Amino acid sequence: MKSDKIIEKTKIEIAAEELKQIKKYYTHLFIFGIALALYVLKKYFGISFNFFPLRWLNQFVISCWAFLIFIKTLKMVFMNKIFNSTWERNKINEILEKENQSKTRWE
């Protein structure tokens, strides 16, 4: 009974952490979209942005940023496929069983 509550709490914590990661990813993607739009305006329409952060917005920065987003996307997609909820549930049960065994040994 107690282990079921712990499992449920752990599942909620895992889901909350996963949701937090997804939210960070989409925020990062949104900011990149804005930066990309500003870069296009600067590069192809000749609009000059002469204040600090946008002055350094160039092809190298956009390329590196796009590469990092690509890596983060691959990580999210493949980690979710490899370590899906079944894997998480099995790992949680395995950890709880080890804890229960160690508690029983000392009692």
The per-residue pLDDT for 31 is: 94
Residue with tokens 């909350």: 16
The per-residue pLDDT for 101 is: 75
The per-residue pLDDT for 65 is: 92
The per-residue pLDDT for 25 is: 92
Three-point CA angle 73, 63, 41, nearest 5°: 110
Q: Are 76 and 21 in contact (CB under 8 A)?
A: yes
Per-residue pLDDT tens digits of the chain, which is 107 residues long: 566 777 777 778 877 888 898 899 999 999 999 989 988 988 888 777 777 777 778 889 899 999 999 999 998 888 777 776 677 777 777 877 777 777 666 55
